[in-house]
Amino acid sequence: MRARSPMSVCLVFVVGLSLGGCAESKPELIAELDAGEGRMIRLYADGAPPWDAPTREFLYDANRGTEIQVSQRRIMFSSPDLRESDFLFIKAEGGNLVGVVEKERPKDMLILHEFSTGESWCSWEGPTVTGENLLRRLIQDTGDGSYTLSM
């Protein structure tokens, strides 16, 4: 059997460390926002927050009873260390249409979801017809015209 050189042992060790760091971590549930009647938005932190980044990627699910309408869609929030108490949940149309905002920016809509149709919009997507239509309906139902789509 041939002896391994110190260089090959070192290379195997470094490659092993690199691959170990690439293992996918399970997203951490940080908020459950209940719209009633089995309608729920769940927010997840996706991995550890970057040390120097002013923003952080999150994921969200939208469920209606046992039906998963949106599964782990990416979204960006301005703070890397958010918790459930950092969000406001705006309900319209009897809870069928909901919006999610950060308390620090309460007029910038981050998520809009319509439970009866499964339509959903989030700030990651930028302006879309779906986002504009859902926002218009939320504004009409709440009477608060100061909401905007966050970008």
List, for residues 112-134, the tens digit of each pLDDT value: 999 999 999 988 887 899 999 99
What is the radius of gyration, based on Cα positions, of the chain?
20
**Bridge partners, 63 (sequence order):** 40, 68
List, for residues 90-114, the tens digit of each pLDDT value: 999 999 999 999 888 899 999 999 9
Element (H, E) at 61: strand 56-64
- The closest of 60, 71, 46 to 112, measured between CA atoms, is 60
List, for residues 16-50, the tens digit of each pLDDT value: 333 444 455 678 888 899 999 999 999 888 765 55
Residue 53 reports pLDDT greater than 70: no
Q: What are the backbone angles phi and psi of residue 9, rounded to the nearest 5°?
A: -65, -40
